[in-house]
Structure 1
Amino acid sequence: MPESVPGAAYVLGALAVMFVVTVALRAAPFLALSALKNSAFVDFLGRTMPAGVMVILVMYTLRDVGQSTWLPATAGLAGTIAVHLWRRNAALSTVVGTGLYLFASAFWT
């Protein structure tokens, strides 16, 4: 066998390290969750993150609105706001707004 091919002990050692790291990374969220179960900070994030994500999506959509793309951006934003006010469902309003934006951009850009 050529010198550049690692031996069986090296391969088994590498696999053992990968196994331990993978198991540790899979267990870490559960350990952190039990430690942060009654945290006021986690409760605050749970209340404010949906609105924060929506603001970031709006800013991302409107960042490069030019002469030819203002109509699809406006249609998507208006559709998102309307569906969210109507149903109070962030997932539904995001999907509808994205669909309206894609539909409008197919015809008006």
Structure 2
Amino acid sequence: MSFDEQVITIAIAALATMATRFVPFLLFPDPDTAPVFVTRLGEFLPPAIFGILVVYCYQDELTQLSATTVIAVVAGLATAGMQWWRKNILLSIVVGTVLYIGLLQLV
């Protein structure tokens, strides 16, 4: 693929991504006028996608029981607990990551 083709491909990907972000706001400028179906999708889709992501991330860990499995589950539970307690996503991610890396270094 030549340099020009690479630039065109990246530009098309960027425009497609921007379109998926902007079109909903153009179609439904006022959230109160959005159809009920769209509103319900906005309520239920993010937690469902998050649940699928959690299952995907733990699928290999849960098929084998090892020290890294226990560490991953402990760090995940700490992240979830921190998010439930403090409601601060950055703090939750930092605590879970530091705990995971720290426990991995101890094993």
By the TM > 0.5 criterion, same fold? yes
Q: Which TM-score tier does this pair reach, normalised by the shorter chain?
A: 0.5 to 0.7
Return the letter of the residue paired with 2:27: A
Which is higher, the Rg of structure 1 or of structure 2? 1
Q: CA RMSD in A?
A: 3.5
Q: State the Cα distance separating 1:22 from its structure 2 match.
A: 8.4
Q: % of aligned pairs identical?
A: 28
Check 1:27–1:61 CA distance in 2 against 1; reply closer, same or farther (3 A cut): closer
Q: Which stretch shifts more, 72-81 or 94-103?
A: 94-103
Residue 53 and residue 103 in structure 1: after superposition, are their counterparts in 2 closer, same or farther (change >3 A)? farther
1:56 aligns with 2:52: yes
Match of 1:39 among 19, 30, 35: 35
Q: Distance in 1 between matches of 2:77 and 2:20?
A: 40
Length-normalised TM-score, structure 2: 0.56
User: Residues 52-95 of structure 1: CA distance to partner in whole angstroms, max 9, x if unpaired?
Assistant: 34323421332122323122112212211210221123443234
Aligned length: 93
Contact 1:81 1:93 in 2 (8 A): yes
Describe how 1:1-109 pairs up with structure 2 within 5 A. 25=16, 26=18, 29-37=21-29, 38-65=34-61, 66=64, 67-108=66-107
Which residue identity lines up with residue 74 of structure 1 in the other structure? V
1:90 and 1:53 map into 2 onto residues whose CA distance is 17
Gaps of 5+ in 1: 1-10
